[in-house]
Structure 1
Amino acid sequence: MKVSLCALLTSAITLSSNSALAITPPMAFATYPSHAKTGYSIQGIQDLATGRLGTGAVSPNGDILFEMSVVGTGAAGGRSRALCSNIGFLAAAVRQQSGPLFPTLPGLPANARITAFSSPIVNRTAQVGIYRATVTGTGLNSASNQLVLRCDNGSPGLVARTGVPFASLGGAVPSSFLEVLQQEGANDRVALLYKLRSGVAATNTKNDSGLILMNHAGTVTHSLNREGNASAVVPGDGSPEVYGQFAHAAILSGDAVGFTCKVIPPIGKPVDGLFHTGAVNQRSTLTPGTTPPGVVNNELLGTFTGVTRIGALTLLRATLTKSAATANEGVWNFGGTLLLRKGDDIGGGIKITRIVRIWGVDNGQLLAHVQLSNRAQALILRQVDGNFLTLISTNTPAPEIFDSPTVTVATIQAIDVDPVNGNYVVLASLKGAASTTNQALWVGRTSRGNDTTLQAQRMPILKLRKGRPLFTTNTPWDTVRGITVKPLLDRTGVGARGAAQQITSDGRVLAIVTGDRRVQELVTIVDP
């Protein structure tokens, strides 16, 4: 049998155990944009090369923002880290390096040095990202050394800093930023969940937390959502209440933000409250100690554990009390509709035993990474019609891999979801494949098709597999030896709320691919 070079480049060819030639269906071998590669020089700093790649983020227009270790004579003995981006450039360049702060920023001492970078985010389409940095220097301490910085087509700019008073809060001084979020799309919006220093500007333990909104220049646009201020009330209830300690936040689509915090009534104990702030402030009717919609048997809402977005509305993850351990958690939208619950049957008698992580989509869909009663883990879609569609599951045949009928999904290693169009990426190990081919990456889009006859259009598509050829703008030819995707593992078990995205609204995926000789390369996988 003759196989042309063209066929080799459009089909994966392997030898089965009986030496018969097996040809899998074509998988496109695209040339992926490469942004950094182990040992390769980096624009922006002389005598500096890529070391070990760290965390990063990608935007819908292809902007990337990432941090990594660097090596070379300009790398302080290999202990340096760099913050890099292609925003405003043709290729990724160093924007800041650990060590002496350059350029200098207002209010910082002349000997200020960056010691760490974290939380790169680039959700905005208008070529601007944000990231966090920790600095040391004369007069700086743990309550004044956190920076939120802007990365655009100029020099890094200061968005906010602990230790610097907020005039909009009467001169109160932030001592820490608990969460830093950036809005998706073209809106000029950053949200900071903050903690304030007690004893300054009448700040005490009863008013030292809150949520502040600002633009990327650091100009505050909304600051009323502060502990101790009057809160929005439950519809139909005119009782005056005030905000208590703030807990979680999510930037929504449009001009809105959702958050949870304690609510202090005139009489009684503080309880969790779910809020939505946009054109007007609103509080959801969902309240701990009450029976929420969709449950029976006098079960009560317990703790509000996380929030994210589902379009312009807030999505709540919460526990249930007076409920069996097999059904003691759920997900509701702001209006009180129950969308997902531990114990739900997703089909064939298979039930959800654990909700690992959730993502809302602007069209009203909900995706969830779940543990199932058949001991599998899966990514499932709750469709708008209320039915479940399993997109990928362990212990089942690996999608679009046909070199052996026994190749199954072994473990799900990473998932991320875009909240605008429901683009998703799944990285998983494979069982029944050789060690040289036992990992794969799939993408899909849940906004395709429909809830009935065209569900197949929402299923995962194989994009990259260990053992396949790799072509990038920095690599004419290599072999994929490993794949890494680094989604932000939110402690609240929710995603797509304004933090870093590994997949965008147009389907771009940020991934680290390991080739021969353990060379790592940061690439964007573009959905054609």
Structure 2
Amino acid sequence: HFGSSVAMDEHRVVVGAYDHNSSGALYVFDFETGDQLLKLVASDPSAGQYLGLNVALCGPRVLAGAYGDQIAQGAGYLFDITEAGPVVNEVRKFVDPDGGSLDSLGRSVALSGDYAILGAPNDEGADMKSGTVHLFDCQDGGWVGSFFPIDGATNDAFGWALATSGSMVFVGGRYLFSQKGAGYLFDLNGQEWGKLTAPDGESGDFFGTVVALCGNVAVVGAYADNAIATDSGSAYVFSPVAGPLPLVSVAKTRDFAPGVPEASFRAFGNAFINNNGAVTFDARLAGPGASRGRTQGIWTNVSNVSSTPVSLLALRRQILSDAIFNFIPPMSEQQPIVQSVGTAFSNQGQRGLLELRASGGEFNRRSGVVLNQFDGSALEMIQTTGDVDYAGYGDPVSRIHESVQTHTESGGSAINVSLIRGGAITAENDSGLILFDDAGDLVGSGLLEGDNIPFSSPLKWGQFASRLSQGGASKAVYTAYVTGGGTPFQRVFSNLLEAISQGDSTAILAGAEVRSAVTEIGTQPNGTALARVTLSGAGVNRANNEAIYSGAFGEVALRKGDPVPGEAAGVVWNRFLGFWPVDEDRFIVLAKLRGPGVNGRNDCALYLWQEDQSFLKLVREGDPVCDCDCPAVGRILRVDVNPVSGDYAVLTSLVGGNRRANQALLTGAADAGNATTEKIFRLPHLRLRKGTLYAADGGAGTTGIRSITMTPTVDRGGAGGKGRGQVINNDGEIVVCVTFDDRSKELLSGQPGRGAPVPE
């Protein structure tokens, strides 16, 4: 029975043979050459298992049903077809923990992101043998949940057929309603939001025996319909079918702006999310209360205690003492105001940082920058420029270069500063770092240029670079010159300890040495350093003069000009665009490639440097994307990685397929699985796509996605996950700005791979 099921992508074809050796098997072929690549079999084959009667393919994952397993209790098998052959066993087996004989789990199968979806048409759902659909987590193999229609009845065979698109699950039940049949649309969280039936259906049509779903178009087969002749059969097309957005609305243009009478949101700027899923964003306003469109403010739902979805933190031209609770206004008539709002973000569940500029009263060009800590209900000033009362060294600060906040709850924050020269402050001691605890109080006296480096006498800190990263609580990673030991040299520090220094060489550098640090990051939670460095010395030229150093292994992890593991011979690293820590022992890098077969359509890729020091390609321009119209990645537009969990988001353009759907958001988890047998669980999945229709607010009609934007999160040197704002948190929740077909813009947050949020 070779050919009992088929699935394909751009390069491969999978064919089922459900009675091979009485248990079943699947075969993987090269689409272009027809060569057999792999044979897939169960590790526990048994007679009558029927492995391969149904199959789904998405990227390197093949899901096959075996509904005859264990006296027809049924099972599903997940295979990784990147593994070496010729015969490959499953990486996961899915069984219903409460299943019974004859349930027929696996009679239909589908894949959606991290989920394996299996139909059990004889399972007890709404009634005896009415049928159920089960969801399983591909990463750990665990059962997640099940769903069935509320109007189900005995012998409906709900789950006989399955199809998915995005977070939609389309289920066929061929025996529903006296064998007329029906199809149901569900969300991944089990919410039923649509039922499709034939308008001319009759008993015995078996509508729902087969189903297909592509974007917002559903097709249903009714093989015994009498359309042309007795049992000649029909296929029904339904369009559009649309469900709810798989994300929650945070704010929307034209909605009123909380805290600002007679004003509404006109445009959104930066938007960041914390580990509790709370969002902080800046926006410009419109309306009579918006000062002719010049008003800008910061809003958040971090520890939100108001009756509105978000709370106002600060507003341009707001009286400063109204915004900052611990600012004592002057006795004079002129009250300082918020001149402008800067960046605001939160990496912790209950607090964040906000930068603004004040003017009036004691504030001027030299003393106008104010750094605040916030908890959602109030701002607390913790540092200003030019203010002795808030200066960490007892000397006025001339500039705050960078502020960061650890992802460790109650872990505090840190800033990189320059001091105002004068008196005891000269060019020899005018830079340093200030660390704060979670209450906003100083931790120690800071690190100051000219001070002795502890445990390193007679060395002293020289000039600090204007960059900073924070790992765990009170753990900073930074670059500074070192003096007191001859010629000053540059060093990357992890707290007080050396990570790597100018002039250092390693075994991999083979005679070359570190020239300077471009940027640096601290890992979570221990603050181990990652650094992008330039090189000089023997054999160094423009083609190989950069590297990324990992403090976790005390070695250069990759170097410009070196071969890219897993790519064709001669393909090398050409340029590093961005890098992000993942936990303590791995990182993600976005890089340009060059070499044979590399061109402007495939020269950018995202890789994971794994805990065993191997590389895993996550996504590359030109790679196929798992969707029904077979698109491919065009340009990698934006990347963000959560440094704690390794959850990552990739915004790309798409080529091929539907031209009106040429943008996509992918997400993945670099901490999932392992570096060897389960690395497929670290690869990204399609989550949102331009052109997809969703049910409009209130259920009146549909609206489509016109574009998706993500806030940039890396510094000028490409370092991300350093303690500034994030657009993806450690639960895989994201925040994005979506423009819809009616040109409205909406900030949306949540887990796009988990379906629409269930109403409370």
Relative to structure 1, the CA distance from residue 169 to residue 437 in structure 2 (aligned partners, 3 Å threshold; closer, same or farther) is closer
Q: Is the 8 Å Cα contact of residues 406 and 471 (structure 2) preserved in structure 1? A: yes
Aligned to 1:386: 613
1:377 to 604, 619, 631: 604
Relative to structure 1, the CA distance from residue 222 to residue 471 in structure 2 (aligned partners, 3 Å threshold; closer, same or farther) is farther
2:579 paired with 1:358 = yes
Aligned to 1:436: 660
What does the per-residue CA deviation read over 1:486-514, in whole Å, with 9 as the maximum and x for residues that have no partner?
12231121110100001111111110000
1:484 to 686, 706, 709: 709
2:504 to 290, 294, 319: 290
Aligned to 1:206: 428
Q: Is the 8 Å Cα contact of residues 367 and 387 (structure 2) preserved in structure 1? A: yes
1:130 to 344, 349, 353: 353
Aligned to 1:305: 518
Aligned to 1:397: 624
Cα drift, residue 439 of structure 1 = 0.3
Q: Partner letter of residue 742 of structure 2? A: R
Cα drift, residue 392 of structure 1 = 0.7
Q: Partner letter of residue 220 of structure 1? A: L
What does the per-residue CA deviation read over 1:153-179, in whole Å, with 9 as the maximum and x for residues that have no partner?
422221211111267755211011001
Relative to structure 1, the CA distance from residue 209 to residue 363 in structure 2 (aligned partners, 3 Å threshold; closer, same or farther) is closer
Aligned to 1:261: 480
2:219 paired with 1:219 = no
Instruction: Calculate percent identity across the aligned residue pairs.
Output: 26
Q: Is the 8 Å Cα contact of residues 11 and 27 (structure 1) preserved in structure 2? A: no
Q: Is the 8 Å Cα contact of residues 168 and 223 (structure 1) preserved in structure 2? A: no
2:557 paired with 1:332 = no
Q: Is the 8 Å Cα contact of residues 271 and 736 (structure 2) preserved in structure 1? A: no
Cα drift, residue 116 of structure 1 = 2.0
Relative to structure 1, the CA distance from residue 112 to residue 166 in structure 2 (aligned partners, 3 Å threshold; closer, same or farther) is closer
Q: Is the 8 Å Cα contact of residues 232 and 283 (structure 1) preserved in structure 2? A: no
Aligned length: 508
Measure, in 1, the Cα distance between the counterparts of 2:388 and 2:740: 48
Cα drift, residue 225 of structure 1 = 1.2
Cα drift, residue 472 of structure 1 = 8.1
Measure, in 2, the Cα distance between the counterparts of 1:62 and 1:139: 37
Cα drift, residue 340 of structure 1 = 2.1
Secondary structure class of the residue paired with 1:171: coil
2:670 paired with 1:446 = yes
1:272 to 476, 490, 494: 490
Q: Partner letter of residue 470 of structure 2? A: I
Cα drift, residue 224 of structure 1 = 3.8
Secondary structure class of the residue paired with 1:100: coil
Measure, in 2, the Cα distance between the counterparts of 1:145 and 1:168: 14
Secondary structure class of the residue paired with 1:503: coil
2:368 to 141, 145, 152: 145
Q: Indicate the larger mover: 249-258 or 191-200.
A: 249-258
Secondary structure class of the residue paired with 2:481: strand
Measure, in 2, the Cα distance between the counterparts of 1:501 and 1:67: 14
Relative to structure 1, the CA distance from residue 309 to residue 65 in structure 2 (aligned partners, 3 Å threshold; closer, same or farther) is same
Secondary structure class of the residue paired with 2:290: coil
1:118 to 342, 350, 357: 342
Aligned to 1:12: 215
2:413 paired with 1:190 = yes
Secondary structure class of the residue paired with 1:326: coil
Measure, in 2, the Cα distance between the counterparts of 1:163 and 1:218: 18
Q: Is the 8 Å Cα contact of residues 42 and 50 (structure 1) preserved in structure 2? A: yes
Measure, in 2, the Cα distance between the counterparts of 1:474 and 1:332: 52
Q: Is the 8 Å Cα contact of residues 242 and 263 (structure 1) preserved in structure 2? A: yes
1:457 to 681, 685, 697: 681
Larger RCO (CA within 8 A; separation ≥ 6): 1
Aligned to 1:33: 248
Rg comparison, structure with higher value: 2
Q: Partner letter of residue 582 of structure 2? A: V
Q: Is the 8 Å Cα contact of residues 278 and 302 (structure 2) preserved in structure 1? A: yes
Unaligned runs of 5+ in 1: none
Secondary structure class of the residue paired with 1:70: strand
Relative to structure 1, the CA distance from residue 442 to residue 27 in structure 2 (aligned partners, 3 Å threshold; closer, same or farther) is farther
Superposed CA RMSD in Å reads: 2.8
Cα drift, residue 11 of structure 1 = 4.9
Measure, in 2, the Cα distance between the counterparts of 1:227 and 1:475: 61
Measure, in 1, the Cα distance between the counterparts of 2:705 and 2:251: 16
2:462 paired with 1:244 = yes
Q: Indicate the larger mover: 344-353 or 459-468.
A: 344-353
Q: Is the 8 Å Cα contact of residues 168 and 220 (structure 1) preserved in structure 2? A: no
What does the per-residue CA deviation read over 1:57-89, in whole Å, with 9 as the maximum and x for residues that have no partner?
101111111101011121111110011011232
Q: Partner letter of residue 402 of structure 1? A: C
Cα drift, residue 401 of structure 1 = 2.1
Alignment of 1:73-88 (within 5 A): 73-88=288-303
Secondary structure class of the residue paired with 2:548: strand
Q: Partner letter of residue 572 of structure 2? A: K
Aligned to 2:535: 320
Relative to structure 1, the CA distance from residue 264 to residue 27 in structure 2 (aligned partners, 3 Å threshold; closer, same or farther) is farther
Secondary structure class of the residue paired with 1:133: strand
Measure, in 1, the Cα distance between the counterparts of 2:274 and 2:607: 25
Secondary structure class of the residue paired with 1:496: coil
Measure, in 1, the Cα distance between the counterparts of 2:695 and 2:418: 47
Cα drift, residue 217 of structure 1 = 4.2
Q: Is the 8 Å Cα contact of residues 27 and 463 (structure 1) preserved in structure 2? A: no
Q: Is the 8 Å Cα contact of residues 534 and 546 (structure 2) preserved in structure 1? A: yes
Unaligned runs of 5+ in 2: 1-171, 173-180, 187-192, 195-212, 219-234, 755-760
Secondary structure class of the residue paired with 2:448: coil
What does the per-residue CA deviation read over 1:426-451, in whole Å, with 9 as the maximum and x for residues that have no partner?
00001113342000001000111111
Q: Indicate the larger mover: 319-328 or 214-223.
A: 214-223
Secondary structure class of the residue paired with 1:479: strand
Relative to structure 1, the CA distance from residue 186 to residue 104 in structure 2 (aligned partners, 3 Å threshold; closer, same or farther) is closer
Q: Partner letter of residue 524 of structure 1? A: S
